Amino acid sequence: MNDKRTPVIAGNWKMNLGPSDARAFCIELRARLGDLRGRRVILFPPFVSLPVVADELERTSIEFGGQNLYWEGKGAFTGETSPLFLRELGCSTVLVGHSERRHVFGEKDQECGRKVRAALDAGLVPVLCCGEKLEDREAGDTFQVVRLQLKYGLGKVKAEEAFLVAYEPVWAIGTGRTATPEQAQEVHALIRAWLGEKFGDEAKERIPVLYGGSVKPDNVDELMARPDIDGVLVGGASLKVDSFERLVRFQA
């Protein structure tokens, strides 16, 4: 973690916590965190729970965003979510290219780039997710895969625009396996170097790069101690207030 960048703790609820459970979670989290300082906290609820989350987190510093979006603002796109809808609900940010979108639903790198651009045009801050599968890592292709995902995902972004990157090795998501802090740092350093090549030194030092992949209360401190890990994107550990609060209150 670099002291110049505010640490980001983001919880991706995936297809969990419908409206009633989301309301209870937010009420308790709001009471526990109080006037949070020095940490940026973002929740990514399912679309149906966004109105409830918006209601309960009003007048707090806790942000919330969408788990996905479509690159058109409106039209005959059954089942898709417009970036304009997310903005109307009060979202500040949105996930793009999460590993489940890529590998379960077949989302392509080029589509991720269109979604990133649509998010920015709608006034949302995109969080571009990238990461390799197990066979990529075993073949020594991690850097090549990640660079390609960054190239297409951020190809239409300007240096001055606000976005985040999340590195999530697919082999470590929901498997109980976690990249070691050294493995995570190695790829984060690569991402930061790529950001410098693409956008310049100022952007390289400004843009937060998060780690996602079986992050838990018992490994968050060690991960956050690494110089290029600016935060975490958490799945299962974000579904309970106790574990999520512990992540927010990491000690690095």
Rounded to the nearest 10 degrees, how much is the dihedral formed by the CA atoms of 10, 14, 19, 24?
-50
Instruction: Please tell me the distance from the alpha carbon of residue 60 to that of residue 75, in angstroms, as a whole number.
Output: 34
Instruction: Please tell me the distance from the alpha carbon of residue 3 to that of residue 35, in angstroms, as a whole number.
Output: 20
Instruction: Please tell me the distance from the alpha carbon of residue 44 to that of residue 173, in angstroms, as a whole number.
Output: 16
Two tokens at 21?
Answer: 């459970």
Beta bridge partners of 44: 12
Which residues are designated catalytic? 98, 168
User: Do residues 208 and 8 touch, judged by C-beta distance below 8 A?
Assistant: yes
Instruction: Please tell me the distance from the alpha carbon of residue 189 to that of residue 142, in angstroms, as a whole number.
Output: 13
Two tokens at 44?
Answer: 């990514």
Q: What element of type H or E holds 210?
A: strand 209-211
**Distances in whole angstroms, Cα of residue 145 to Cα of each of 62, 179, 197:** 33, 16, 17
Instruction: Please tell me the distance from the alpha carbon of residue 221 to that of residue 177, in angstroms, as a whole number.
Output: 17
Instruction: Please tell me the distance from the alpha carbon of residue 100 to that of residue 170, in angstroms, as a whole number.
Output: 9
Place of tokens 């060690």: 222
